């Protein structure tokens, strides 16, 4: 029998309670990443509008850059922020052991249990230090999705220089679709993420200050 992560919580000792919910480096990485993603997504929409391959365009009013050249400048500036910050995040996450502590184990039965509990409104948020299985899957998914965005972006930026990567992703034109769909998945994640923050607002406090915040 596995013990559902979210309910097995609440055992945090008083000394552990004084530890920040999220270490400082993680909070810094989170907000830098949020900025980079915001710039990349909104400028990317403008770039997509220059030659849409789906039967719709993104309203220019919510895009960044003002025109194609400006959008490209924003996109190719923020990409450095995303990649540098992403590498720091991955390195610290792996070296500190946080990646394996927080996101694993991940099991189908755990996912089922926590998803059902969430739908019935019975999911416990007693210990913000512990991610339930649905959260683990969502965060691991968005890490891999971001990696796919970087790799497909690399094919679009340097279609000649990385032939193996280009062929793996189905060539230049297919990489454009991958890049777009991976963006859409990232935006969907952000949407769900923001709804969750709205439902449990103290998670925002802990991502800002590191403190656990008031329990309701």
Partner 1 sequence: MNPLQRPTLQTVDAEAALAEARRLIGRKIAQPARRAFLTRSLTLGGLSLLTGCGVSDHEGVEAALGAISRFNDKVQGFIFDPAQLAPTYPASMITQPFPFNAYYGEDEVREVDEASYRLEVTGLVADKRRWTLPELRAMEQHDQITRHICVEGWSAIGHWGGVRFADFLRRVGADTSAKYVGFKCADDYFTSIDMPTALHPQTLLALTYAGQPLPPKYGFPMKLRMPTKLGYKNPKHIQAIFVTNTNPGGYWEDQGYNWFGGS
Q: How many residues of this chain interact with partner 1, rule: CB under 8 A?
A: 28
Return the exposure string of 17-53: e unless at least 16 CB atoms fall within 10 Å of the residue's CB, then b: eeeebbeeebbebeebbeebbebbbbbbbbbbbeeee
Interaction between residue 60 and partner 1 (CB under 8 A):
no
Interaction between residue 48 and partner 1 (CB under 8 A):
yes
Q: Which of 176, 193, 202, 211 binds partner 1 (CB under 8 A)?
A: 176
Interaction between residue 201 and partner 1 (CB under 8 A):
no
DSSP state of 4: P
Phi-psi region of 22 (alpha: psi -120 to 50; beta: other; left: phi over 0): beta
160: which residues sit within 8 A by CB, 6+ positions away? none
Q: How many of the other CB atoms lie within 10 Å of CB of 1?
A: 4
Interaction between residue 160 and partner 1 (CB under 8 A):
yes
Closest distance of CB 208 from partner 1, Å: 16
**Where does this chain touch partner 1 (CB under 8 A) — which range of 43-51, 144-152, 188-196, 206-214?**
43-51
Q: Which of 15, 51, 120, 214 binds partner 1 (CB under 8 A)?
A: 51
Interaction between residue 45 and partner 1 (CB under 8 A):
no
Q: Which of 16, 38, 57, 80 binds partner 1 (CB under 8 A)?
A: 80
Residue 176 phi/psi, 5-degree rounding, is -60, -40
Residue 196, SS3 per DSSP? helix
Which parts of this chain interact with partner 1 (CB under 8 A)?
A: 47-48, 50-51, 53, 64-66, 68-70, 72-74, 76-77, 80, 157-161, 163, 166, 171-173, 176
């Amino acid at each position: 029998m596995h013990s559902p992560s979210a309910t097995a919580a609440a055992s945090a000792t008083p000394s552990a309670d004084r530890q920040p919910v999220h270490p400082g480096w993680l909070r810094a990485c989170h907000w830098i990443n949020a900025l980079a993603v915001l710039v990349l997504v909104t400028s990317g929409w403008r770039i997509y509008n220059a030659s849409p391959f789906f039967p719709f365009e993104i309203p220019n009013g919510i895009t960044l850059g003002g025109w194609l050249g400006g959008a490209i400048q924003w996109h190719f500036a923020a990409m450095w922020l995303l990649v540098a910050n992403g590498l720091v995040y991955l390195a610290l996450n792996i070296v500190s052991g946080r990646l394996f502590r927080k996101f694993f184990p991940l099991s189908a039965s755990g996912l089922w249990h926590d998803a059902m509990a969430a739908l019935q409104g019975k999911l416990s948020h007693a210990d913000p230090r512990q991610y339930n299985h649905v959260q683990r899957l969502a965060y691991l998914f968005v890490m891999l999705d971001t990696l796919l965005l970087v790799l497909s972006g690399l094919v679009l930026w340097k279609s000649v220089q990385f032939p193996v990567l280009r062929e793996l992703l189905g060539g230049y034109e297919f990489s454009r679709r991958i890049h777009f769909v991976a963006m859409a998945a990232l935006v969907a994640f952000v949407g769900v993420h923001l709804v969750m923050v709205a439902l449990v607002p103290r998670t925002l406090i802990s991502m800002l200050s590191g403190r656990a915040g008031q329990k309701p």
